[in-house]
A = this chain, B = another copy of it.
Amino acid sequence: MSELRLNVVTREWVIIATDRAKRPSDFKNNKEKRHLPHYLSTCPFCPGNERKTPLELFRVPDGENWKIRVVSNKFPALSSSGEKVRHEDGGLRRTVSGVGFHEVIIETPAHDLTTGLLDAAQLEDLIRTYKARFIAANNDNRIEHAIIFKNHGEGAGTSLAHSHSQMIATPIVPIQFRDRVQAALHYFDNTGEYIICVVSKKDREDGSRILLDTEHFVTLIPYAALSPFHTWLFPKRHSASFSSINEEEIKDLARHLKTILSKFHYGLDDPDYNYVIKSSRPRDDGNDYCHWYIGIIPRLTQAAGFEIGSGMFINSSLPEKNAEFLRAVKTE
């Protein structure tokens, strides 16, 4: 019989549909492989085409050239100039002007590489860049929340193949974030513990869903994974905001993230995926109950009417089996 599991961090229920469970290897990407050239003259993110992108906001230099560039999104969802204006109309129509930041982080000059295949030093620089842009966005007093994320592949919502991440910083706090803070706060009030620290500790003792455990980070497939290979990467040190990551942790995270993304790349044949850094603002770093983390969501299944209509999920795979499968995948 299937089993319903509650995701205690997100408070979402998932039906682990054991009766129609697929084997981990059934989820391998069966789309045609991506074969990208090392350089593409028409790609706005390739070196030499810097003038095809909007304003450069940041770069990691490499002599005259660059290793990483951050530019404004060409079609930004939010505008970096303007006032934050809030309107209410009897409580039914609440609007806030679309001020904020929408940045593109070009991860490498190489057109044919992807995040998991970058070398560790490049990944360190990428994480440092994330940190710098995250802090810069939060220093603007119109900003209430910032999200750093990556869309890899068309099924994950990107149209540009050259490896890039994005940051969107908004003038409001999303309700999803508020709800999770609330849940973590309740847990702290009831137990005196941080829910993510406890989940991470218990799961490390159990071991069955752990993918990788290094000095400062642990990656696991959650007990109530909402979709096949849905993955959480937790820092071990309790900290509410990604902005507090230190140099030693950056070095560990670079190698850790590279290993995890490589396991996906080789084990599941380069699947489409998203990853997201879920974090409180720098000024909320001192709080007791939040804990920043990275969610990695391979896009192997399609949300349908049931998921949209209920906010519940059906996962036709076993988190424990999927973790076992990925643990066994060799990376370079």
Interface residues of A (CB under 8 A from B): 1-6, 8, 11-13, 15-20, 75-79, 82, 90-99, 145, 147, 149-151, 154-158, 166, 168, 170-172, 174-177, 179, 187, 191, 198-199, 202, 223, 274-278, 295, 297, 302-312, 314
B276 contacts A15, CB within 8 Å? no
B94 contacts A6, CB within 8 Å? yes
* CB-CB under 8 A for A150 and B305, given A1-B97, A75-B19: yes
A75 contacts B20, CB within 8 Å? yes
Can you list 25 A-B contacts (CB < 8 A)?
Answer: A1-B98, A3-B96, A4-B98, A5-B93, A6-B94, A8-B94, A11-B175, A13-B175, A145-B310, A147-B310, A149-B304, A149-B308, A151-B304, A155-B302, A156-B302, A156-B304, A158-B304, A170-B312, A177-B310, A274-B304, A274-B305, A276-B308, A276-B310, A278-B309, A295-B308
Q: How far is the CB of A190 from chain B (nearest CB, A)?
A: 8
- Contact partners of A312 in chain B: CB under 8 A: 170, 174, 176
Q: How far is the CA of A149 from the CA of B311 in the complex (A)?
A: 13
Which among B13, B147, B202 is the interface contact of A92 at CB below 8 angstroms? B202
8 closest Cβ contacts across the A-B interface? A157-B304, A2-B98, A176-B311, A276-B309, A149-B305, A274-B305, A6-B94, A20-B75
B147 contacts A79, CB within 8 Å? no
User: Which single residue of chain B is at the shortest CB-CB distance from A152?
Assistant: B305
Q: How far is the CA of A274 from the CA of B19 in the complex (A)?
A: 25
* CB-CB under 8 A for A172 and B276, given A17-B77, A20-B77, A79-B19: no
A3 contacts B98, CB within 8 Å? yes
Number of copies: 2
Q: How far is the CA of A157 from the CA of B18 in the complex (A)?
A: 19
- Contact partners of A79 in chain B: CB under 8 A: 1-2, 19
* CB-CB under 8 A for A2 and B304, given A11-B175, A149-B309, A312-B174: no
- Contact partners of A147 in chain B: CB under 8 A: 305-306, 309-310
Additional 16 contacts, C-beta under 8 A, given A168-B310, A303-B303: A1-B82, A4-B98, A4-B171, A5-B95, A13-B170, A13-B174, A18-B98, A77-B314, A91-B187, A149-B306, A149-B308, A158-B304, A176-B310, A177-B310, A179-B179, A274-B308
